[in-house]
Structure 1
């Protein structure tokens, strides 16, 4: 019956991507308990039960009371595992214990014990080993008491089961937070260089975290393993894990209730207990249609209780005390039905309650976190400015120059912070408008939304206005403007300065669908998939970055978003995809995102310059040094093949004749054919320049024809020559026009030696 679940054992290597909890005893235990119908006969204060595979025993801790008299009931026990029902049987309580339970006695029952299960039940053969290892098990047990004569449901209790393994781990939160802190320190160190990559990679890393968390905010039937994985990145959205007794959450509750808020506060128990029964981990509607009457007369209940009275103490000693204490955490029992007001729907409600934050408190939590970040930024910038101002007063010119540029540096970091908090602020501010819970929360959401979005739009308008009025090159020609608004365009090529704008628009459009389309998951996922495909297409067409490596990284992250969003179509509730298939897809998406995080970790180390410590990373070439390569890498020119400092030009370049002129050995060694050295038809020059007229007169046996040609050619050159820089630059830029020699410089006949070719190497 668990054959389909056993297929998940082939995914065991993938689970290595999750740093799960420490090793513990293989067990299944209740993680939450709720009423699935209004209690009439049986009241339960506590219900904890666990099965240990080590010795095939059951440990329980129950506190219940029967309040109705003369009630004869049958008990139905049903086990739902990933939408399947491997266990579903009904017991007539009147046939047990010689009728002692018929009618139900009216008394309180409180007890805790460990019971060994008889081997005749064959429980160990019905539960595969994978059930104790797969994280975030989707299973629950349901106990229903039905009156024998009338068929009225007298009591219904549901208990979700867990094996102790989960994709949500505190270690993952700390690891991702440490990586973000490392990227932040690298960004601060390199932020004085506008073209440095580290400040931009900080935004890319945090946006990857935020996007991962936002993928779990849609109205989809996620598998429990993916929802738990996505909560590892809730802190990047400003949703730090909290408890119902957290001072911050209690303060937000008081504020909401005093300003017209009437939504429920966060529960102290697991949010899984309040999840809609159509969604994971329930995967079914709790109703009487699922109950089937399968009488099991040979279950041996009497022998089970008899064996527990004799040997229960021996079984407790085999199980660790820490395991038993951990399992006793079901807490208070709440009533959850399809018509209950406290039921948690898919999307934002389930996600934020999974980290201990009430649905109505989500925006206010983000608001307080943004205020804390703004306060820290203001404090750090103030201290830094005071230090630089104090140093500049003691004659340090360099520090004084930095202090003059410090306001631009501060504005740049304010812009970076706005870009970082843009995703959570837009999502939860817009979502707060749909709740209509507290007028003060709505007012604060409007203020924060306008502040963050307004400053980003203001900076974008300034960048586009300057580029339109002059040229895009002007954006890099103004150091102050580049230092203050560089986070929007400094990483891109000059003709692609606008490439940040499509990304910001994409984030805003996705926030609109997340906030305002909570009732239709298929619209959300399809719209977001279209937006992600458009972002990917823009990167492939524009290739906006200065280096090929940066384009490859941005394209890889965009492909990751497109691929994962496309796979999430399987979570659409109307498709009714099987629970096991959704679990597999959720694990695949989690692995893809984990690989992207590892790639960003390596990229962060590279941008910090740690790769310089790796020996043998430089490829030696004649005339080049590792310093040259480092300079090009720092300027984000790693896509170009680095060359020596004095490269051989790829084409003929007109030369200044005043710089390179030959020295004849004697007056007789003069130019006899000026067409061999200077020709207007060829449009090129050779080594040397035209000699003055007095050299041509001293030629041995000159012909009148050649002399007249030389004089006419030289006089023509003099008449056309202009010593201005504009004429020289125009002549140098024309391939069909040569640069005439300067008439102000003549050669001295005192030189008696012609330079060799080694002393004056010709340029091609």
Structure 2
């Protein structure tokens, strides 16, 4: 089973790196870009296609020229920065049949022709050029005055053979396996395999974080080698950059309805030249042109030319066939759709389970905690969804504040920023407060964090992946994500600044994870340290791509290929690990045997009603020292505890700590009462489902105040009469 799944994933992911066969080989170019700051010739339309099967070169060029007189041209073919071919061309050579260039005249130039390629030239082109994905090749043409030999213009055309590592199959495979990990962890948790659920969920979340890191690299305003731009494009689905026709129409309507003016670059490709910023540009971006205003009237650069330069997030949107002004709304809409989809899925699963139990198709003790406390579980899932979408919405929202597509979209961006930061900040503060109280009362943060199923299901998404002593590590992770999103979203015109900042940010995270090792066990620490290391190496590569070191073209081209290879291998390894872990979680009876117990003893505090009967439950409560005192106060997880004054909180903490530390047990008493089971619990009818701990009220205080007024017999009576969880008494939840 696992072998076939792994093989399928391997084949699908490897498809990105395997050259594809084609019935007809072809090399094309659709963009002619200036490579000289004062170039006297620019193209508004440039389409060239070379078909080696019939040895023909067809071209359709429209441009503006300020050149008059006879000229000579120097042609150079560059492949991965290496000069493979140089040749001098005389436009007046009749064998070339080039109209309008002999002599050149100032004004508009239109060239539409087709001429054959000699067999000698064909023999110099290697066959791999037609099949290698994301060919990093360009033809540069320098135009010199035929008399003075002075350079007049310089243009270059980027070549493509139609093959790319940007494949929908890769995006689908990564999305499905990432989602499968989250589903498998949820199912394992519902079946009571808490250790397995924690490991699978942690790995799936880390994998998803790696996908988002790759997507964020592609959103940086850094000139990228073609293979790097295509590879990072595979993961833009994790940022909500997915083209859907009706959604694009909705985004355009919303923008116009809220006072914005949509861009129309995709619909005007026949009239304007859209340049997707790549590594092969040799002059500074400011000399090439500037990003344009949002109105159609602003579709001209500083030289009043119909040329648009796209970089960073705009480049990502254009490659996904999304209009620049629709990028933010597209990401926002997909996040909202994801929230709705997950909510409906949880509700549907709740009713499905109930229906199967009533029909006798499923045992009554399966998913009993979820069925009785599904609303609390749903809250925890919603918090997890917000955590998943946090990098996506932070980057897009910050970027929207600089773009200002419309007043309505700016309002959405501000609302999203404030809401998500406040929600995750509040949740993190709750975890820290619960852990601190647990330390004060029990000298162990894991006690309260894991002993209450309501708190665990609601807030556990923030700390289950860490060891108990590192419960706070979610705060630096959120801070890391926020700072990273700010640099990428707010500095889209400064690629070098982004690259330097990213190196420092990734280095800080790598050092922190490697030194502190905050995750739950050695395997999970290694998993996340490896991801942090790969992200740090990628940041160094992007610093080189930013041209801050003025590296030779060949060095940058080779580094682009290396970046793709090591990330493809690493992604494949991560996918296989998550796939195998998910398979074991779903298809084995006791997957917890694959994982060693946690050193923070969380397993002794986690309560799973699908695994414990009432008798064993009571015995476990006694072994943990519970039932030492009860208070009919509110739970620590109640949201209204935030309104309690600090003085009251200090008094309660002192009182709780006092009775916990100075508690003296009462003399031993017999735990067996008439009509009771040996462990003090009332007898259950055969086949009855284990009780759930959701929806219970706090028990009445026991006689004897803060001391232990009763034995297991009294504890069992309280459970029977009040339907209350013994885990919560004396553990700090009643306060």
* Range of TM-score over shorter length: 0.5 to 0.7
Query: What's the CA shift for 1:381?
Result: 2.4
Deviations 1:502-538 (A, max 9, x none): 2121111111111223333333223222222222222
1:363 equivalent in alignment to 2:360: no
Contact kept in structure 2, 1:549 and 1:639, CA below 8 Å = no
1:160 equivalent in alignment to 2:158: yes
Residues 11-26 of structure 1 aligned to structure 2 (within 5 Å): 18-24=16-22
Residues 723-738 of structure 1 aligned to structure 2 (within 5 Å): 724=667
Query: What's the CA shift for 1:478?
Result: 1.2
Residues 648-727 of structure 1 aligned to structure 2 (within 5 Å): 724=667
Partner of 1:87: 86
* Aligned-partner SS, 1:215: helix
Contact kept in structure 2, 1:360 and 1:432, CA below 8 Å = no
* Aligned-partner SS, 2:492: coil
Contact kept in structure 1, 2:438 and 2:449, CA below 8 Å = no
Specify the structure having the higher radius of gyration (Cα): 1
1:419 equivalent in alignment to 2:387: yes
2:242 pairs, out of 212, 228, 240, with 240
Alpha-carbon spacing, 1:537–1:154, altered in 2? closer, same or farther (3 Å): closer
Alpha-carbon spacing, 1:111–1:376, altered in 2? closer, same or farther (3 Å): same
Alpha-carbon spacing, 1:343–1:107, altered in 2? closer, same or farther (3 Å): closer
Structure 1 CA distance, aligned partners of 2:189 and 2:584?
17
Contact kept in structure 2, 1:391 and 1:400, CA below 8 Å = no
Query: What's the CA shift for 1:408?
Result: 1.7
Partner of 1:755: none
Alpha-carbon spacing, 1:594–1:339, altered in 2? closer, same or farther (3 Å): farther
* Aligned-partner SS, 1:608: helix
Partner of 1:605: 579
Contact kept in structure 1, 2:434 and 2:448, CA below 8 Å = yes
- TM-score (ref. length: structure 1): 0.63
* Aligned-partner SS, 1:274: strand
Query: What's the CA shift for 1:440?
Result: 0.9
Structure 2 CA distance, aligned partners of 1:153 and 1:356?
37
Deviations 1:676-702 (A, max 9, x none): xxxxxxxxxxxxxxxxxxxxxxxxxxx
Structure 2 CA distance, aligned partners of 1:581 and 1:144?
23
Structure 1 CA distance, aligned partners of 2:594 and 2:92?
78
Residues 44-193 of structure 1 aligned to structure 2 (within 5 Å): 47-52=47-52, 57-60=55-58, 62=60, 73-74=70-71, 76=73, 78-81=75-78, 82=80, 86-93=85-92, 116-119=116-119, 122-141=120-139, 159-192=157-190, 193=192
* Aligned-partner SS, 2:551: coil
Partner of 2:498: 524
Alpha-carbon spacing, 1:241–1:77, altered in 2? closer, same or farther (3 Å): farther
Query: What's the CA shift for 1:210?
Result: 0.6
1:430 equivalent in alignment to 2:398: yes
Alpha-carbon spacing, 1:283–1:338, altered in 2? closer, same or farther (3 Å): farther
Deviations 1:671-728 (A, max 9, x none): xxxxxxxxxxxxxxxxxxxxxxxxxxxxxxxxxxxxxxxxxxxxxxxxxxx99469xx
Structure 2 CA distance, aligned partners of 1:723 and 1:474?
25
Contact kept in structure 2, 1:179 and 1:601, CA below 8 Å = yes
Query: What's the CA shift for 1:32?
Result: 0.7
Show structure 2 runs of 5+ residues with no match: 1-12, 288-298, 440-444, 602-664, 670-735
CA RMSD, Structure 1 to Structure 2 (Å)? 4.6
Alpha-carbon spacing, 1:34–1:607, altered in 2? closer, same or farther (3 Å): same
1:217 equivalent in alignment to 2:219: yes
* Aligned-partner SS, 2:218: coil
- TM-score (ref. length: structure 2): 0.66
Structure 2 CA distance, aligned partners of 1:43 and 1:381?
55
Q: Name the stretch that deviates more: 202-211 or 398-407.
A: 398-407
* Aligned-partner SS, 2:90: strand
Partner of 1:732: none
Structure 2 CA distance, aligned partners of 1:498 and 1:95?
76
Partner of 1:571: 545
Structure 1 CA distance, aligned partners of 2:427 and 2:98?
80
Alpha-carbon spacing, 1:249–1:143, altered in 2? closer, same or farther (3 Å): farther
1:633 equivalent in alignment to 2:594: yes
Partner of 1:344: 309
Partner of 2:427: 459
1:479 pairs, out of 445, 453, 461, with 453
Query: What's the CA shift for 1:633?
Result: 3.3
Structure 2 CA distance, aligned partners of 1:552 and 1:497?
18
Deviations 1:93-145 (A, max 9, x none): 286699997678999999776x54334xx314543444334432233346788
Contact kept in structure 2, 1:264 and 1:342, CA below 8 Å = no
* Aligned-partner SS, 1:137: coil
